[in-house]
Amino acid sequence: MISINSQEIRYFYRNIVKTGDVYRVKHNNKDYGEFRKLSDALYERDALFFCNFDYDLLVECDLENKYEHMELPPFPEKRPKGRIRGTKFNKKEREGEILFDHKVKGFYIKRMDDIIGYYDTMTEAFYYKKLLMDNDWDMSVLKSNITERIEVNKVIDQTKEYKVQLNYCPKCKSKLKIDAKECPSCGINIEEYLYNN
């Protein structure tokens, strides 16, 4: 006999709605079946999750219904509003958000009560936000990763060398590895191709 913790009951019965004496499987405001037995609705819901709610991928399963002989927790009569606790985290607390300050005229990263930096472009703010997220919001990574800013409208100095990294082959457009000298798909030498064309 399998028992379920009372805190997980709502998550256990996700995508199942009781209407009168029948149970319906619902996803994105679409009905995917009506069942008299709760165990059949649970089984159909799991099969639909497996095929990503696409009836074309759903095939007849001869698997045993694992809910048939299971002692099911009582179905919640009135579904409480709000999100299911423990399944999703608050995105703003976890990832932070990029906002615009009209007084300073710059973008900044806000996470909970912390305000991190002011940036000229949203792309720059997104880059630093992603950098912080990858390093578990360690602020010391901002000091070690200082990037060179190139102004878009600024005239580029022809005598100065700028670091350029190609992500795709200029000839066949296939993805390149970092610091690749030759394209793995078409076999051209990338430096020679760029200087000759």
- pLDDT, tens only, 71-80: 888 887 765 5
pLDDT score for 178: 78
Comparing 42-51, 65-74, 155-164, 173-182, the range with the smallest average pLDDT is 155-164
Check pLDDT > 50 for residue 1: no
Instruction: Give the pLDDT band (50/70/90) at residue 54.
Output: confident
CB 13 within 8 A of CB 80: no
Count CB atoms within 10 A of the CB of residue 183: 21
Six-digit token string for 134: 């990858």
CA distances from 5 to 8, 9, 16, 77, 88 (A): 6, 7, 18, 17, 18
pTM above 0.95, yes or no: no
Backbone angles phi, psi at 196, to 5 degrees: -80, -25
Task: Give the list of residues 6+ apart from residue 91 with CB closer than 8 angstroms, or none.
Answer: none
Q: Which of 88-92, 140-144, 173-177, 178-182 has the lowest mean pLDDT?
A: 88-92
The better pLDDT of the pair 62, 184 is held by 184
User: By mean pLDDT, which of 40-44, 87-91, 101-105, 121-125 is the weakest?
Assistant: 87-91
pLDDT of residue 87: 47
Residue 193 scores a pLDDT above 50? yes
- Report CA-CA distances (Å) from 143 to 8, 51, 128, 132: 43, 47, 11, 11
Residue with tokens 């006999």: 1
Name the amino acid, one letter, at 178.
Answer: I
Q: Is 80 exceeded by the pLDDT of residue 31? A: yes
